[in-house]
């Protein structure tokens, strides 16, 4: 593959649009990375091209305007050449897409029908696909789905205890963060082939957080379900919640669906419990008891789900931490692991503090591994155009 073929990856969140540019080699080589943050009244573009850093205030900008700003910068990065492929992170691939897909009009139509399953994310992904097709009509557009890695769960981990017709209508446990898990499963195969063939729980602890049970490299269970709300408490999302609470909020507090959506997605989790912040660094530094309680709840729910994952896997050979908190916070890893000795998990405190790759002394290997969702997208896009 020649050196002057480029891949652009795009990753649209609700308030940010991340991008990367890679040289399309057998293993893609990153040449630029950046994002437009704070989409809304005061958006800002930040990028790194080699060793150069770029920062630009965009003023009010939505996803389309962010895309325009990124494309302007891409022209400079690519010297006016178009990428041969654009890889998109797409939150929902529904029940059918277990692999990346070339975004033909039929596939885009199918993804549009999934908007009701991910109303806060899928429309942004579709806007960005439309803008990328308009900007680079000759590039192959490739969709990579956060749900895809989980598509072969056993039925018991794919369903809720509702009447069967809801499963048939798509009310299922889809699971998310699949690109991150896909990356870690691949990196484990390279670095720890013995463990990769075993029973592994991967804890992706970032602003969003979930855990995935992987056996022989395949996902068999996720803490996230129908939406990205379920499972672990997160920065601003509630995690597992008794559905009776929703009925109570509707019937007794008169809350509407949009009000409950705001509550569960943006006002709950660490932010809601602490009344202070969704940022774990801030909470660890806080002297307020509410911050300590929020952290206690977070670690306690992770321990519970870790036990549940081990039960789903029939045991556990390794626990892998990734994501902003998982990768960088030794105190949180210690809080989670210190009470899991019954499961064979024992930390080496100095390896943990040093953020070493292997931080355990017990029979269960505990690893810290950086994840790289963009690289998973870039590899899929490169594969689509490999000649």
| 235 contributes a contact to ligand ADP by CB under 6 A | yes
Q: Where are the alpha helices (DSSP H) in 99-173?
A: 105-113, 122-135, 164-168
Q: Which one, 178 or 235, has the nearer CB to ligand ADP?
A: 235
Residue 213 in contact with residue 308, Cβ under 8 Å?
A: no
Q: Does 180 bind ligand ADP (CB under 6 A)?
A: no
Residue 360 is a binding residue for ligand ADP (CB under 6 A): no
Task: Retrieve residue 78's tokens.
Answer: 């690519």
Distance, in Å, from the CA atom of 295 to the CA atom of 154, rounded to the nearest integer, reads 32
Among 100, 175, 269, 324, binds ligand ADP (CB under 6 A): 324
Question: Which C-beta is closer to ligand ADP: that of 216 or that of 296?
Answer: 296
Q: How far is the CB of 242 from ligand ADP (least distance, A)?
A: 25
What residues pair up with 23 in beta bridges, in sequence order? 6, 29
DSSP string, 37-70: ESTEEEEEEEEEETTEEEEEEEEEE-HHHHHHHH
Stretch binding ligand ADP (CB under 6 A), from 94-102, 202-210, 243-251, 357-365: 202-210
Q: Which of 46, 53, 81, 281 binds ligand ADP (CB under 6 A)?
A: 281
Active-site residue, selected from the candidate residues 146, 317, 365, 372: 146
- Nearer of residues 125 and 329 to ligand ADP, judged by Cβ: 329
What angle (nearest 5°) sits at the alpha carbon of residue 15, between those of residues 150 and 23?
65
DSSP-derived 3-state class of residue 285 = helix
Please report whether residue 207 would count as binding ligand ADP according to CB under 6 A.
Answer: yes
Residues 6 or more apart whose Cβ sits within 8 Å of residue 214: 181, 185, 199, 200, 201, 202, 220
57 is catalytic: no
Which listed residue (280, 310, 369, 384) binds ligand ADP by CB under 6 A?
Answer: 280
- Which of residues 130, 279, 338, 348 is near ligand ADP by CB under 6 A? 279
**In Å, how far from its chain's centre is CA 154?**
22
The strands making up 199-205's β-sheet, listed across from edge to edge, are 218-222, 209-215, 199-205, 318-322, 365-368
Show the tokens assigned to 166: 């809801």
CB of 198 to ligand ADP, least distance (A): 25
Binding flag, residue 240, ligand ADP (CB under 6 A): no
Q: How many residues bind ligand ADP (CB under 6 A)?
A: 12
Q: Are the beta carbons of 124 and 69 closer than 8 angstroms?
A: no
Consecutive H or E run containing 6: strand 6-12
323 lies in the binding site for ligand ADP (CB under 6 A): yes
CB of 329 to ligand ADP, least distance (A): 4
Torsion, Cα of 150, 227, 334, 298 (10° steps): -160
Rounded least distance, CB 44 to ligand ADP, Å: 16
Task: Assess 329 for contact with ligand ADP (CB under 6 A).
Answer: yes
Task: Give 93 or 269: the residue with its C-beta nearer to ligand ADP.
Answer: 269
- Under rule CB under 6 A, residue 239 binds ligand ADP: no
Q: Could you count the other beta carbons within 10 Å of the beta carbon of residue 138? A: 7
CB closer to ligand ADP, 280 vs 384? 280
User: Does the footprint of ligand ADP cover residue 34 (CB under 6 A)?
Assistant: no
Stretch touching ligand ADP by CB under 6 A, among 35-43, 129-137, 200-208, 375-383: 200-208
* Nearest position to ligand ADP, beta carbon: 324
In whole angstroms, the minimum distance from the beta carbon of 234 to ligand ADP comes to 8
Scanning 69-77, 305-313, 323-331, 354-362 for contacts with ligand ADP by CB under 6 A, the matching segment is 323-331
Is residue 83 involved in binding ligand ADP (CB under 6 A)?
A: no
Please give the backbone phi and psi of residue 210, each rounded to the nearest 5 degrees, phi first.
Answer: -155, 170
Do the bridges between strand 209-215 and strand 218-222 make them parallel or antiparallel, or are there none, so unpaired?
Answer: antiparallel
Residues of this chain that interact with ligand ADP (CB under 6 A) are 206-208, 235, 279-281, 323-325, 328-329
**Residues designated catalytic:** 146
């Amino acid at each position: 593959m020649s050196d002057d073929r480029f891949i652009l990856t795009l990753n649209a969140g609700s308030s940010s649009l991340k991008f990367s540019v890679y040289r399309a080699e057998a293993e893609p080589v990153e040449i630029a990375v950046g994002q437009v943050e704070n989409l809304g009244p005061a958006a800002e573009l930040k990028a790194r091209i080699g060793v150069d850093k770029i920062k630009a205030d965009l003023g009010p900008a939505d996803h389309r305007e962010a895309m325009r700003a990124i494309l302007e910068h891409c022209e400079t990065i690519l010297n006016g050449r178009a990428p041969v492929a654009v890889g998109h992170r797409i939150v929902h691939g529904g029940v059918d897409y277990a692999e990346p897909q070339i975004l033909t009009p039929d596939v885009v139509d199918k993804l549009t029908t999934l908007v009701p399953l991910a109303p806060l994310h899928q429309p942004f992904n579709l806007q960005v696909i439309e803008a990328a097709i308009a900007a680079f009509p000759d590039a192959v557009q490739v969709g990579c789905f956060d749900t895809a890695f989980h598509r072969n769960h056993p039925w018991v981990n794919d369903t809720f205890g509702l009447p069967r017709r809801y499963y048939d209508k798509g009310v299922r446990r889809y699971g998310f963060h699949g690109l991150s898990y896909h990356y870690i499963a691949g990196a484990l195969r390279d670095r720890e082939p013995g463990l990769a063939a075993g029973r592994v729980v991967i804890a992706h602890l970032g602003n969003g957080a979930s855990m995935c049970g992987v056996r022989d490299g395949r996902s068999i269970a996720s803490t996230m379900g129908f939406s990205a709300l379920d499972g672990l408490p997160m920065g601003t999302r509630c995690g597992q919640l008794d559905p009776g609470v929703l009925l109570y909020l509707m019937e007794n507090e008169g809350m509407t669906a949009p009000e409950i959506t705001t509550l569960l997605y943006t006002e709950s989790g660490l932010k809601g419990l602490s009344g202070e912040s969704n940022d774990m660094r801030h909470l660890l530094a806080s002297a307020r008891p509410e911050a300590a309680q929020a952290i206690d709840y977070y670690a306690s729910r992770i321990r519970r789900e870790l036990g549940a994952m081990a039960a789903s896997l029939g045991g556990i050979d390794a626990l892998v931490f990734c994501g902003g908190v998982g990768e960088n916070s030794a105190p949180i890893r210690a809080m989670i692991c210190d009470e899991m000795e019954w499961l064979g998990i024992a930390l080496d405190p100095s390896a943990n503090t040093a953020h070493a790759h292997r931080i355990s002394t017990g029979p269960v290997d505990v690893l810290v591994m950086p994840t790289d969702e963009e690289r998973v997208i870039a590899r899929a896009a490169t594969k689509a155009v490999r000649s």
